[in-house]
Amino acid sequence: MMMSVNDLNYAAATATDERANAWRHWIGLVTALTDAVVVVAIVALASVTYHLQAYGHVGSYRITLELATMIASIFVFTNALRGRYQLSNYLSTKGQIASAFTVWNVTMVAFIAIVFLAKIVDHYSRAVVLVTYLTGIPLITLARSTVVRTISMASKTGRITSERVFLIGREPDVMSFVSRHQPWNIGFSIVDVAFLRSNDARRINDPGAALAADLATAVARCRQMQPDAVFIALPWSDQETIDACVDAFMNLPVAIHLTPERIMDRFDNPHIVRIGSLASLRLTRPALSAVEILAKRVFDIVAASMILVLTLPLLLVIAALIRLDSPGPVLFLQRRYGFNQQPFRIFKFRTMTTTDDGDTIRQATRGDPRITRIGRILRRYNLDELPQLLNVVAGQMSLVGPRPHALAHDREFQRKIALYARRHNVKPGITGWAQVNGLRGETDTDDKMARRIAFDHWYIDNWSFWLDLGILLRTLFSTRSYRNAL
């Protein structure tokens, strides 16, 4: 959406709704009360339902109220500690479900710890607590999503203002910032705009004096409008003008921001990092932190080892069937790229009459005559991937991650698809986000591969332990995981 200067001035002139401005001061209290009411309702529903089914009556009102008050208090307190009751957290749906689920888990663990330490474990029904937890997962998620969508829509329509801002800068820079970010969509109310004219040809004889005059006028207007923040829309390379703006507005009780450079538009979470006296703008970080890598690795080792032991009879039966079905080895080894594009040999049950691993590899296609009879069954149910549990135990793969491709295909698609190699920033997986969304099988077009890579990138950017668990469950039970099998 492109705006003209007149449109921007009109937006500033009409951003005076006191009710919208007042609402933002009450959002924290309203959302906290909403959370408390939802949790109390969940506990009451769980308690009444359980007691009616088990005993034919609604149970003790006093104990139900105690239980509801305790769990609701812990939930609200935990959210408050995490800073979740700030208006800025309710302007986007991104991350809301994961945050609510995390806090709900912390709440139940804290509740169990408190009643254990207080030696009142027997005071509350274990069944009611369990039903409360399970019921709370979908209901809290639904309630949080509803609140976020309501507040987000209210901010976009001007009924709630998250921040009143004053814009200053040269006209092209201000208009570029407004067109790119459309600040009203995140609840910003533009109270006024000041354009710097100090580089106009008519004023070039004394640009310093012209800049000082512009800033003096802008500061006077800003003081009158009483915004919450001033946004300076200038290229970061224009250090002299930025310094002058900062010095001028430091005398006002406002927050001062530099509008983002275009490079920052590419990244979801740029972050200022300070190490000693050095401050830098971090655009990206490794996909997983050291703690997350350790947690994922421990889970991989434990789970992969258990699955290997439990499926050992099945593995032996499959190996025997492959040997009986067609001549050739039981296992197929092929070079793939792992973490940071380090090559390794992947283990698979052989499902074809060929074992290509050269510079040119023809992908399997639907009805491919090279696929053996037992191989077609193994591919249909993902059983050919089971030997990769050995790669997981060896540390070359993870249970969940982007699926690795043959080196020949990797090199080909890396030339065609931007940031293709970014999928190697985590370990490859036996299953992945793309696969459980039906993106598996033949990639006979660049568009198919680009879609798969987009899902891989989303997984990298949104990784969590719970996401991995969800992908594993969907791999086993979702029909989409078996779609497009060859």
pLDDT averaged over every residue in the chain: 84
Mean pLDDT of 307-330: 90
Q: Residue 364's pLDDT band (boundaries 50, 70, 90)? A: low
> Is pLDDT at 21 greater than 60 in this prediction?
no
* pLDDT per position as a tens digit, 95-111: 677 788 889 999 999 99
Those residues whose C-beta lies under 8 Å from the C-beta of residue 365, and which sit 6 or more positions away, are 442, 444, 486
* pLDDT per position as a tens digit, 35-79: 999 999 999 999 999 888 888 888 888 899 999 999 999 999 999
More confident residue, 296 or 285: 296
Q: Residue 384's pLDDT band (boundaries 50, 70, 90)? A: confident
Q: State the pLDDT at residue 374.
A: 87
Q: Residue 14's pLDDT band (boundaries 50, 70, 90)? A: very low
Report the range out of 20-24, 313-317, 442-446 with the highest average pLDDT: 313-317
Task: Calculate the alpha carbon distances from 151 to 17, 146, 158, 407 in Å.
Answer: 16, 9, 10, 48
- Range with the poorest average pLDDT among 242-246, 299-303, 322-326: 322-326
Relative to beta strand 271-275, strand 278-282 is: antiparallel
**CB environment 11-24: b (16+ within 10 A), e (fewer):** bbeebeeeebbebb
> Is pLDDT at 234 greater than 90 in this prediction?
yes
| Residue recorded with tokens 């990092």 | 273
Structural domain 5-17+161-282, CATH architecture: 3-Layer(aba) Sandwich (3.40)
DSSP H or E run through 375: helix 373-380
Identify the bridge partners of residue 343 per DSSP, sorted by sequence position.
Answer: 337
> Is pLDDT at 363 greater than 80 in this prediction?
no
- Range with the poorest average pLDDT among 283-287, 309-313, 317-321, 477-481: 477-481
Nearest residue to 469 (alpha-carbon basis) of 413, 372, 398: 398
> Is pLDDT at 11 greater than 70 in this prediction?
no
Nearest residue to 240 (alpha-carbon basis) of 208, 213, 272: 208
Structure tokens given for 461: 């950017």
Report the range out of 65-74, 85-94, 201-210, 366-375 with the highest average pLDDT: 65-74
> Is pLDDT at 201 greater than 60 in this prediction?
no
Q: State the pLDDT at residue 303.
A: 94
Q: State the pLDDT at residue 285.
A: 80
CB under 8 A, 24+ apart: contacts of 51-55: 51/128, 54/127
Q: Where in the chain is the domain with CATH 3.40.50?
A: 5-17+161-282
Q: Residue 359's pLDDT band (boundaries 50, 70, 90)? A: low
Q: What percent of the chain has pLDDT over 90?
A: 35
Q: What percent of the chain has pLDDT over 70?
A: 86
Q: Residue 198's pLDDT band (boundaries 50, 70, 90)? A: low
Those residues whose C-beta lies under 8 Å from the C-beta of residue 348, and which sit 6 or more positions away, are 331, 332, 333, 334, 384, 385, 387, 388
More confident residue, 3 or 415: 415
The full DSSP string for 117-154 is HTT-GGGS-HHHHHHHHHHHHHHHHHHHHHHHHHHHHH
> Is pLDDT at 184 greater than 60 in this prediction?
yes
**CB environment 72-111: b (16+ within 10 A), e (fewer):** bebbbebbeeeebbebebbbeeeebbeebbebbebbbebb
* pLDDT per position as a tens digit, 132-147: 999 998 898 888 888 8
> Is pLDDT at 202 greater than 50 in this prediction?
yes
Q: State the pLDDT at residue 203.
A: 53
Mean pLDDT of 156-175: 83
> Is pLDDT at 88 greater than 50 in this prediction?
yes
> Is pLDDT at 197 greater than 90 in this prediction?
no
**Four-CA torsion 142, 467, 439, 480, nearest 10 degrees:** -60
Identify the bridge partners of residue 332 per DSSP, sorted by sequence position.
Answer: 348
Q: Residue 16's pLDDT band (boundaries 50, 70, 90)? A: very low
